[in-house]
Amino acid sequence: MDLGLTDRVALVTGASRGIGRAIAAGLAAEGARVAVAARSARDVAAVAQSAGGRGYVFDSADLEAVDPLVDAVVSDLGPVDVYVANTGGPPRFADPLSIAPAEWEAAHRALVVSPMLVLARVVPQMRERGFGRVLAVSSSTAREPLPGLQLSNANRPGLLAAMKLLARENAGHGVTFNAVLPGRIATDRLASGYGGMDVAEQAARAEVPAARLGTAAEVAAAAVFLCSAAASYVTGQSLLVDGGLTRSW
């Protein structure tokens, strides 16, 4: 299937590792010109080189960095056709009532405000050109809250709600807004939360209906399709990629 991504300009944030890196690689494999953005200059350079794209140092917690990032991408590659809003998860807290105001503000800034500022820059141009794909890499916590992940539980649904409105307002202009909701994916972050990948895999065999962890490549496959021209009639949707773990429909 031709996904219609050849020469499309794709901006992927949080792309230095894990799911973001896999999505950047998947878009590049379909012929997109990928702008790889993340906090680590060294990691960004490595991913950009492997994907044949351009690297940009960007911290989603720094709202003042949004405009310079978009300006640089447009100058180097052209107007953004595909925006993948991917952000590393906020810190874990065993006690959901122990979270300090600064932690709440930082999580909201990175998970909600920063992507919305990027959208304010790129969506008007997408509308003018009659093509745009916006994808949020969210979490299954947006559907079913999980212990220890209160900052994610509270903030990720906020971005999806904002995107749902935008999906309706922009559907007639060829611009779609969707999300993937990964469950237990074999990433460094998951391993750290379980105290090791072996422990995470053992838990998955017992608790995930698919009896294993998912892979970043499996999330990327769903993400790349939702970013494609082929997915032009899919908008305002959140797709669980969790091996059947989430109980709600």
pLDDT digits (tens, 9 = 90+) for 137-186: 999 999 999 999 999 999 999 999 999 999 999 999 999 999 999 999 99
Domains and CATH numbers, the chain: 9-187+215-233 (3.40.50.720)
Say if CB 42 and CB 19 are below 8 A apart: no
pTM: 0.96
For the chain, the 3-state helix, strand and coil shares in percent, each to the nearest 5, are 50, 15, 35
Instruction: State the Cα–Cα distance between residues 181 and 183, nearest whole angstrom.
Output: 7
- Give the other-Cβ count within 10 Å of 164's Cβ: 16
Q: Which residue has the tokens 């895999």?
A: 201
Q: Which of 178, 196, 175 lies closest to 187 in space, CA to CA?
A: 196
- Give the other-Cβ count within 10 Å of 8's Cβ: 24
Q: What CA–CA distances, in Å, run from 105 to 113, 114, 147, 149, 233?
A: 10, 12, 20, 15, 35
> What averages of pLDDT result for each successive group of 10 residues across the chain (249 residues)?
94 95 96 95 88 92 97 98 94 94 97 98 98 98 94 97 98 98 94 91 96 97 98 98 92
pLDDT of residue 192: 86
pLDDT of residue 156: 97
Q: Is 160 exposed, middle or buried (0-12, 13-18, 19+ CB in 10 A)?
A: buried
